[in-house]
Amino acid sequence: MVSKKNTVCNTCTRRLVVIAYRRSPWFRLVREPLKFTMRKWARLYGFNPEEYEVRSPSCYHCIRFYKNALKERSGLFRLLHSLVNPAFDAILERIVAKEEVNKAEAHARAAMEGEALPYNGDKYTRDPWWGKI
């Protein structure tokens, strides 16, 4: 049996993105091209999501796995990420409240520990977009 890689997640971006999509539909125009590019780029690098341990069912197909794999494998991605991510985070933080960021951090901590997710089943994790974000 091949051991799976771990990834680090400090904030459940998926949770924050659901909130942002609901409040500011234009946010999709910012995020979706970035997400599409990361997924395609990761495939070019031979990324296989099955290589990573997923401790929570709500984390399946999360873009975090793609992003972390690209950070490991591509210097160009790390450079672009260091330029784009601060602007992306600033936009996202203008849309979502600090309390929601705190909940997303708690959600990520629980998922990383394989614990019951504190906000699983709330209106955000039941959102039909959850699995597509």
d(CA 88, CA 68): 16
What burial class does residue 112 get, using C-beta atoms within 10 Å of its C-beta: 0-12 exposed, 13-18 middle, 19+ buried?
A: middle
**Mean pLDDT rounded to a whole number for the chain:** 84
The pLDDT value recorded for residue 132 is 65
pLDDT(1) > 60: no
Query: What tens digit of pLDDT does each residue of 9-65 get?
Result: 888 888 899 899 989 999 999 999 999 999 999 889 888 777 777 777 777 778 888
Q: How confident is the model at residue 77 (pLDDT cuts 50, 70, 90)?
A: very high
The pLDDT value recorded for residue 97 is 94
Which residues are CB-neighbours of 108 under 8 A, at least 6 positions away?
Answer: 9, 10, 11, 12
Give the DSSP H/E element, type plus range, for residue 85: helix 75-95
Of residues 130 and 32, more confidently modeled: 32
The pLDDT value recorded for residue 126 is 63
Q: How confident is the model at residue 119 (pLDDT cuts 50, 70, 90)?
A: low
d(CA 15, CA 119): 10
Q: How confident is the model at residue 113 (pLDDT cuts 50, 70, 90)?
A: confident
pLDDT(127) > 80: no
Mean pLDDT within 93-99:
94
Would you say how long the chain is, in residues?
133
